[in-house]
Structure 1
């Protein structure tokens, strides 16, 4: 096998490294191709820096800039020529032309077939038009007959419409009357509901009043029981004070008897004054003690009498309070009975109103059914 010839190289115009060239025809590569155009950009930047320099360096820089532009143009033209005039490009253009020609031929055949179909459809349409003309003539005659029948039916429909209008007017009158009845029934229903609410409110008030009267009755009963207990206690205390007064009277009687005995002894002592001087002194002392005891007994009796009078007054007041409480209890009992009677009457009235509302609802339902 023959050895492959080494590719041709040229030095880079910027860095001087060898740049491989293409094997075919074409403009040679002047810069390195393996650094993404870095050498070409660096050379261009260098020329851009020197293009405005005076003298020969500036002219050389501008000349190289023009050369680069020409190189770019030549490279573009070379690539275009390779793409269009190469065997591959020519084959591609021929294939494109063949495809376009085949498409045009297919379009021409399609237009021809479409023209044939249009001609056939036109002939068929003419045939159908002839048949449709005959059918239209027959339909015209049938339409005339139908029109005559329609006129007759229209006359009959006008008569039916007149009868329907009369029936409609009559139905409207009945509907107006039914509406008036319905409005009146609704008013009666509203008034019945209002009356029912009023009765319920009165019933609630009576219930509250009954509850208040019951509470007052219970309070009066409690007061009466308390007054009865106070009266019983006052009676017991009066009996106790009466017993103490009796005991005081008994003690006073005993003291008076002792005083009388002392006086008797004093009289006897005065008769025997010479013999019983000491006895007189003892008698005087005993008499003084008896007088003091008598005075104390009298004071105790007065105190007991005053306490008895006070207890009697309290007992009378307690009896009056108990009587007033019993009278109040009787009055509350009567009022409670009256309130219960009013409550029963209100419940009966509420039942009657509920029945009336039910009757009105039934009447409204029947009226709505009749109207519908």
Structure 2
């Protein structure tokens, strides 16, 4: 067993994900004598800076973005996984996936990451310290642990992590789905989302859930459009927020599908980047049960990456939205106002008593209550599952 500490970073190389903290810590070290091996997977604005460091320090291994199936081959070198997200995560899916391999997660025990970070590995335990100091203290602790502990310690830790992850397996999620749909006949499901090709976490989750339900005999159809990757995809998403205000076509299209498929359940997912309020308006008219899943904080805040604590989200109002944008740029403020209008119109439909609301983590229940004025009794917690 190597005495060198192996750390994994998995995620976007962005400030809000805490990667800037890691980069600052690495730069503060003697790179020629670094006693930590870093295995970094991801993409983002810090790529160039990271590539420069890899040329100076052979202990930094950067692979770019890779699927979990490819990351697996390096996990035998990993002792811990760093996820020092500064912004609130709605659910720690990447953390959960890593725990399923027996690897502990280091980060801030808040938001959707709360269940997946042990208090021993919570960076916020070092109160009064700057984030880079917190990380420094944690890495020193882990390095000492690596040198002093034997293999039994890591075997027990691995077993504990796997047991936690097992609570979120696919069958557990299916059982939870059954619990949430026990009171009505549910065999035909129509899942509605802005985009239905697997370009991101929401869309990949749709396909995983579709596959899971179909394996249990359900009929599942997807309704939405496709989104390209790269710059064209970003443009479509930004324009889609504005176009969703007027997207009557999405409502008419859904009406046609409802008449043809006659679903028992219409399950809405992402709606603000293309679909807008009209599918909900049309769906409510049908006899199908209605569910809305809130996957990200972008439905409560103009810039979800700037949500660092729960109190950053307020009741949905133009004043709060503009204030939350933290900018004086007139163009950005105009775009934020447009997003607010789209959300306001959508929220008016979501208050219909026929709809039940779902969130992936319990901490989001009061956020949904506060922002959209949804009664707690109409909100269900429906967690994600290990995707491997």
TM range (shorter): under 0.3
User: Which has more strand, going by share of residues?
Assistant: 2
* TM-score of the two chains, using structure 1 as the length reference: 0.15
Structure of higher CA gyration radius: 1
Looking at both structures, which has the greater relative contact order when contacts are Cα pairs under 8 Å and sequence separation is at least 6? 1
Structure with the bigger percentage of helix: 1
The TM-score, its normalising length taken from structure 2, stands at: 0.14
